[in-house]
Structure 1
Amino acid sequence: MRSLFLQRRLYRASSDAMRVLWRKRQDAFSVVKVELNLECGLPVRGCLGIPDGEIKGLVLLAHGMASTPERCFVDADPDYMNAIGKQLCQDGYVVWCPYIVQIGNQESQNNIAAMLASHRISAHNVSCASIDAGETVCRKLTGLSGLNVGVYGVSWGAFLALHLEAATGHMRPTVVSGYMRDETKFLMSPIFSKNLGIELATYIHFSNSRAKYVGRVLAHLICPCPLFIELGNRDVANSTEYGRDEKFAEMQSVYASSGHANLIGMTIFDGVHEVNGKSARPWLQERLASPAYQATSRLKNAIAL
Structure 2
Amino acid sequence: MWNPDGFMEMLYEQSVTARKGLSSRSNSERKALLKERLQSSLGSYEDMRAPLNPILLERIEYEDYIRERIEIGTVIGLRMPIYILIPKTEVRVVQSGQLPGMLALHGHGYGSREVIGLASDGTMLTKKGGHNSFAMELMRQGHIVVAPEMIGLGDRRLLRDTIPGKERSSCISLTGQLLMYGMSLGGLRVFEALRALDYFVTRTEVAADQIGCMGFSGGGTVAAYASALDERIKATVLCAFTNTFKGSILSINHCIDNFVPGVLDYAELPDLIGLIAPRPLFIESGENDPIFPASSLQEAIEILQGIYCQEQAEDMLQYDIFPGVHEVNGREIYPWLRSIWRSGISHYPGNDLNMIEEAKAE
Assess same fold via TM > 0.5: yes
Residues of 1 paired with 2:266 and 2:215: CA distance?
Answer: 19
Q: Which amino acid aligns with 2:315?
A: N
Q: How many residues align?
A: 286
Indicate the residue corresponding to 1:29 in structure 2.
65
| Root mean square deviation, CA, Å | 3.0
For the pair 1:81 / 2:131, whether they are aligned, the reply is yes
| Structure 2 residue 216 is the aligned partner of structure 1 residue 154 | yes
Matches for 1:232-247 after TM superposition, within 5 Å: 232-241=286-295, 243-247=296-300
CA contact (8 A) 1:205 1:211 kept: no
Asked if 1:94 is matched to 2:144, the reply is yes
What SS does the aligned partner of 1:293 have? coil
Q: Pairwise mapping of residues 159-178 of structure 1 onto structure 2 (< 5 A)?
A: 159-170=221-232, 172-178=234-240
- 2:239, 2:126 → 1: CA distance? 22
Give the aligned partner of residue 192 of structure 1: 253
Q: Distance in 1 between matches of 2:198 and 2:249?
A: 36
One-letter identity of the residue aligned with 1:116: L
Residue identity in the other structure for 1:251: L
Query: Deviation of residue 136 (structure 1)?
Result: 3.7
Q: In 1, Cα distance between the equivalents of 2:245 and 2:280?
A: 22
Q: 2:332 — aligned with what?
A: 279
Q: CA deviation at 1:257?
A: 2.5
Query: Quick one: structure 1 residues 240 and 10, their matched pair in 2 at CA, closer, same or farther if it must change by over 3 Å?
Result: farther
Q: Which residue does the alignment assign to 1:111? A: 173
- Residue 209 of structure 1, CA deviation: 2.3
Of the three residues 308, 313, 331, the one matched with 1:260 is 313
- Would the aligned equivalents of 1:59 and 1:93 in 2 still touch at CA under 8 Å? yes
1:23–1:31 Cα contact (<8 Å) kept: yes
Pairwise CA distance, 1:290: 2.5
Offset at 1:225?
A: 2.1
Aligned-partner Cα distance in 1 for 2:244–2:168: 17
1:230 is matched with which residue?
Answer: 284
Aligned in 2, Cα 1:146/1:103: closer, same or farther, shift over 3 Å? closer
Deviations 1:100-156 (A, max 9, x none): 112379973132123234345442232123222344433556565635101111111
CA separation of 1:21/1:121 partners in 2, compared to 1, >3 Å: closer, same or farther?
farther
Q: Which amino acid aligns with 2:113?
A: E
Structure 2 residues without counterparts, runs of 5 or longer: 1-37, 91-97, 118-124, 155-166, 350-362
Name which one, 1 or 2, has greater alpha-carbon Rg. Answer: 2
TM-score using structure 1 length: 0.81
1: distance between equivalents of 2:347 and 2:304?
23
Q: Which moved more, 1:93-102 or 1:113-122?
A: 113-122
